[in-house]
Amino acid sequence: MKETGAQKNTGAAVLGALRRAARSLVFAVLAGALATCWADPVRLRQAFAEQVDRRLELPPDEAQRYGHLARDELRRAGIAEEPSQYALLVDRSAAVQAIFVFWLPAGAAPVLIGASPVSTGRPGGFEYFETPLGVFDHAVANHDFRAEGTRNEFGIRGYGEKGMRVFDFGWQQARRLWGRGGTSTMRLQMHATDPDRLEPRLGSVQSKGCIRIPASLNRLLDRLGVLDADYLRAKAEGSAPWVLPPDQAPVEGAGRYLVVVDSGRSERPAWSPPPKPGTSPTGAHSAP
């Protein structure tokens, strides 16, 4: 019996509906798997190990020390321990120059997710600042933006490749590292840097006051919304910030705080080796 046009259309519609239902089921399963995955800090630690290409391996006692330091600084700032959340800690000491991602579970010991080398402020020319100490809130009041990937007159991409997220912590008081010193305001940001010419210098003081991090860590924080608690709140209230990636799969327990400390260490720990010898490239002073 020969199919009529109506029968063909009906069959195609049914087949299309089945395909759409199958796709919806797959997406639902994937969403559930992601939610389960990122609700577990151990899984995030695994993702850090797999996706971040510049890592520091801390001994357990050092991880514990920095974890308690992060929690102590948050307490001093009057920030409640609940709910459980992620937080970032930077040790600006010239002998360390490292960033640590911590899971801070309420009522339990901090869990180190991973650590990477950074660059913070160094003495230099005009408008060089010492990276300020304290607890800094990552909030929509100071909108993040994305790098344009353009090069300056020296060929340096100060914020890294196009699309890299620039985490903005607003105007802060910081010590001037030029002229007569004193303090004034600087815009505190955390961002990637030129992948070819400046990222190899991570692990040493290099910036004008901002915190430079590896591009791979930038992508992980961005894609998983590790520090996006306030941005996710805005999104839930119907005001989705444009800077959030469309494919973002946020962790459960996203945080919002960056803690900057100075351990004052006089000797370089074995787990935080300095970058390979070499002079900074021409024009490095013009990068944030």
For the stretch 230-244, pLDDT in tens is 999 999 999 989 999
- Asked if residue 126 has pLDDT above 90, the reply is no
Tell which residue, 123, 209, 127, 122, has the closest CA to residue 172: 209
Give CA–CA dist 249/26, Å, rounded.
Answer: 16
Predicted pLDDT of residue 216:
98
Give CA–CA dist 102/67, Å, rounded.
Answer: 7
Predicted pLDDT of residue 131:
98
Predicted pLDDT of residue 179:
85
- Asked if residue 173 has pLDDT above 90, the reply is yes
- Asked if residue 1 has pLDDT above 60, the reply is no
Predicted pLDDT of residue 51:
98
Beta carbons within 10 angstroms of residue 39's beta carbon: 12
Across residues 129-133, what is the average pLDDT? 97
Instruction: Quote the distance between the C-alpha of residue 270 and its chain's center.
Output: 24
Predicted pLDDT of residue 146:
98
Predicted pLDDT of residue 286:
63
Predicted pLDDT of residue 36:
39
- Asked if residue 217 has pLDDT above 70, the reply is yes
User: What phi and psi, each to the nearest 5 degrees, are found at residue 173?
Assistant: -80, 130
pLDDT in tens, 51-61: 999 999 999 99
- Asked if residue 73 has pLDDT above 60, the reply is yes
Residues whose CB is less than 8 angstroms from the CB of residue 80 and which lie 6 or more positions away in sequence, other chains included = none
The mean pLDDT of the chain is 88
Tell which residue, 259, 286, 222, 246, has the closest CA to residue 52: 222
Share of the chain above pLDDT 90, in %: 76
* Whole-prediction pTM: 0.84
pLDDT category, 276, cuts 50, 70, 90?
confident
Give CA–CA dist 23/10, Å, rounded.
Answer: 20
Report, in angstroms and rounded to the nearest whole number, the Rg of the chain calculated over CA atoms.
22
Predicted pLDDT of residue 285:
61
Across residues 169-179, what is the average pLDDT? 94
pLDDT category, 187, cuts 50, 70, 90?
very high
pLDDT in tens, 105-120: 999 999 999 999 999 9
Tell which residue, 218, 266, 270, has the closest CA to residue 93: 266
Beta strands in 48-202 (DSSP E): 85-91, 98-104, 111-117, 134-137, 145-146, 165-175, 183-191
pLDDT in tens, 3-46: 455 544 445 454 444 454 444 443 333 333 333 345 579 999 99
Predicted pLDDT of residue 133:
98
Predicted pLDDT of residue 28:
38
